[in-house]
Structure 1
Amino acid sequence: MKAYVFPGQGAQFTGMGKDLYEASDKAKDLFAQANEVLGFDITKIMFEGTAEELKETKVTQPAIFLHSTILAEVMGPTFQPDMVAGHSLGELSALVANRTIAFSDGLELVYKRALAMQKACEMTPSTMAAVLGLEDAIVEEICGKTPGIVVAANYNCPGQLVISGEIEAVNLACEALKEAGARRALLLPVGGAFHSPLMEPAREELAAAIENTQFTAPACPIYQNVSTTAVTDASRIKKNLMEQLTAPVKWTQSVQNMIKDGATTFIEVGPGNVLQGLVKKVDNTMLTEKATFYVGL
């Protein structure tokens, strides 16, 4: 069975999507539609922008979403997922690809998500840190004992967990994690504490937008960050998506459940190859591929 997986923030690069645009009329149409929906020329920034421009949350999130969803569209008959999942932002790409939400609705949600998260980041100085070489339970225990707000945010693969919270609390937790035997506890160059309670203002704002978006029965199950198991009920998908911003990304558990349910090949749809690497660290017997597209579609 084939599982199609969609990357999140951090996979952006200058020139992303240009090959799709040049090879496909359908891609050209979707990029033009995106510029209209967003009200600015995101295509130009994706193709020609600097790394700094692409790092702005309000650009990064829609850019990765566009690369992923347009690639899925121009894969043609080869895009036949038995299941899908997306890492954080990638969950919205997955929901467009499996026909739960329309392309334009997904893009509007992604843009609102980016702006709401940026606003929440500006309210409280906060950050994230990658923790390598410790069991999840130890990381969770140390975060729980640390003064201030710091939580486990991204369960990326066994031995790799990202924590998120107030700057001082994250720094204190990093010191304690190193003392507990972490191979590394390294601050990440991000603007805020994603997937933590500090994203509550953004969650409320995005939840209202999700509530007003039409969700339909998906073409195949999605394994969501919050639930980690196969979901096909549109109302349940909507509820899980509303909880995502303040809840941890349980990627390890999602991949494990996809494998348990029969996945044998994981195909990454979008920029970069981070998810292929994480899947291999969860189970190195899995086949992983990079999605390719048909010229002329």
Structure 2
Amino acid sequence: MGKIAFLFAGQGSQYPGMGKDLFEKINEVHDFFGVAEAIRPGTLSQMLAGTEAELKRTENTQPCLFLADIASALALASNGITPDAVAGFSLGEVVALAVSGVLSKENAFKLVCKRGALMQDAAEKEKGSMVAVLKMDKSELEEMCSEVGVFPVNYNCPGQIVVSGKDERIEKLKEKLSNKKVRFIQLSVGGPFHTPYMKEASEELKKEAEINMLYNINKSYIPLYSNMTAKPYPTDAEGIIQSFSEQISSSVNWEDTIKNMTKEGIDTFIECGPGKTLTGFVKRIVPQARIYNVCDIESLKAVVEELKNDA
């Protein structure tokens, strides 16, 4: 076995009750959830017993999903499995900041709370949505997006690009796609994320990190791959802050990220958090890769047993 990467799930994979048994049965998870609850009271009730509608609100989704993602990483670490590199999809990148040592878990949670609130505000000012477009030529889709006034933002894997924009323009895009008999999937998110409409949120997050100095920034001790560049994060504080703040209004270059990780010897990918979206992408990008998902005690035990047998 070569190197292991942890991948952290992004918005849209959330569901009520996620992470519940990890919280109940893994001491490290239980302890950190208590810290997070003290920072943002009510988070655990939203996460473990909230409604789908409540969880869909970005200001709630992001703190809750952060906890579900990091719970899996903490559970793996408690069983002796740690990553050689990390990457997170959109908000998952904030989890990766914590797991790679750039931020403490507490400060990363504070950051994601602020990030979610800023993006919620931006989404309420600019009503929008996102759709995943399947099996369409990249250049043709980018041209169609330009015509309609929407943005291709998440380059997920071969045959899947997510488009983001204002609701009325997304509807026009969907009409054009239907006319061409191109499949698309409406995503369970509440705004036009990773577009210029998030610029104000991006600038506010950067301002908080730079001026208010609320977060103690460190150099990562393992490679942390950036959504924007698909390459490892900068090592200086200014570059780190710029990377995690501008990511909000920039594209997610996930396909290139996974390819670059593979070039550096990563052959095993563990998706931490609810769902199997990211492992599905990896399977299409690097078919020969070993892929796993940890979201609960059952999946944790299966992954730990298999990896320890291979050691």
Question: TM-score, normalising length from structure 2?
Answer: 0.87
Residue matched to 1:135: 137
Which secondary structure does the structure 1 equivalent of 2:198 belong to?
A: helix
Q: What are the Cα deviations for residues 201-258 of structure 1, in whole angstroms up to 9, with x where unaligned?
A: 2111211223222210112001110010123514333221121011011111111111
- 1:220-239 equivalences under 5 Å are 220-231=222-233, 233-235=235-237, 236-239=239-242
The 2-side partners of 1:60 and 1:120 are apart by 15
1:220, 1:232 within 8 Å by CA — same for their partners in 2?
no
The 1-side partners of 2:128 and 2:33 are apart by 34
Residue matched to 1:205: 204
- Identity in percent: 37
The 1-side partners of 2:170 and 2:106 are apart by 37
1:104 Cα shift?
Answer: 1.1
Residue identity opposite 2:47 in structure 1: M
Residue matched to 1:68: 69
CA RMSD in angstroms, aligned pairs only = 1.8
Residue matched to 1:112: 114
Assess, with a 3 A threshold, how the Cα gap between structure 1 residues 251 and 182 changes in structure 2: closer, same or farther. farther
- 1:1-297 equivalences under 5 Å are 1-38=3-40, 40-75=41-76, 76=78, 78-146=80-148, 149-179=149-179, 181=180, 183-211=182-210, 212=213, 213-231=215-233, 233-235=235-237, 236-291=239-294, 292=300
- Give unmatched runs, 5+ long, in structure 2: 295-299, 305-311
Residue identity opposite 2:260 in structure 1: N
Assess, with a 3 A threshold, how the Cα gap between structure 1 residues 198 and 218 changes in structure 2: closer, same or farther. same
2:59, 2:119 within 8 Å by CA — same for their partners in 1?
no
Q: Which moved more, 1:67-76 or 1:82-91?
A: 67-76
Which secondary structure does the structure 2 equivalent of 1:109 belong to?
A: helix
1:121, 1:193 within 8 Å by CA — same for their partners in 2?
yes
Assess, with a 3 A threshold, how the Cα gap between structure 1 residues 189 and 48 changes in structure 2: closer, same or farther. closer
1:94 Cα shift?
Answer: 0.8
Q: Which moved more, 1:236-245 or 1:106-115?
A: 236-245
Residue identity opposite 2:122 in structure 1: A
Which secondary structure does the structure 2 equivalent of 1:34 belong to?
A: helix
1:221, 1:232 within 8 Å by CA — same for their partners in 2?
no
The 1-side partners of 2:234 and 2:79 are apart by 22
1:186 Cα shift?
Answer: 4.1
Residue identity opposite 1:274 in structure 2: T
1:164 Cα shift?
Answer: 0.8
Residue identity opposite 2:293 in structure 1: K
The 1-side partners of 2:176 and 2:197 are apart by 22
Q: Which moved more, 1:24-33 or 1:254-263?
A: 24-33
2:133, 2:161 within 8 Å by CA — same for their partners in 1?
yes
The 2-side partners of 1:175 and 1:54 are apart by 29
Q: Which moved more, 1:89-98 or 1:27-36?
A: 27-36
Which secondary structure does the structure 2 equivalent of 1:4 belong to?
A: strand
Q: What are the Cα deviations for residues 172-191 of structure 1, in whole angstroms up to 9, with x where unaligned?
A: 33333445x56313443432
1:129 Cα shift?
Answer: 1.6
1:35 Cα shift?
Answer: 0.9
Which secondary structure does the structure 2 equivalent of 1:169 belong to?
A: helix
Q: Which moved more, 1:157-166 or 1:19-28?
A: 19-28
- Give unmatched runs, 5+ long, in structure 1: none
1:24 Cα shift?
Answer: 2.4
* Count of paired positions: 290
Q: What are the Cα deviations for residues 76-107 of structure 1, in whole angstroms up to 9, with x where unaligned?
A: 25332111100000000011011110111111
1:196 Cα shift?
Answer: 0.5
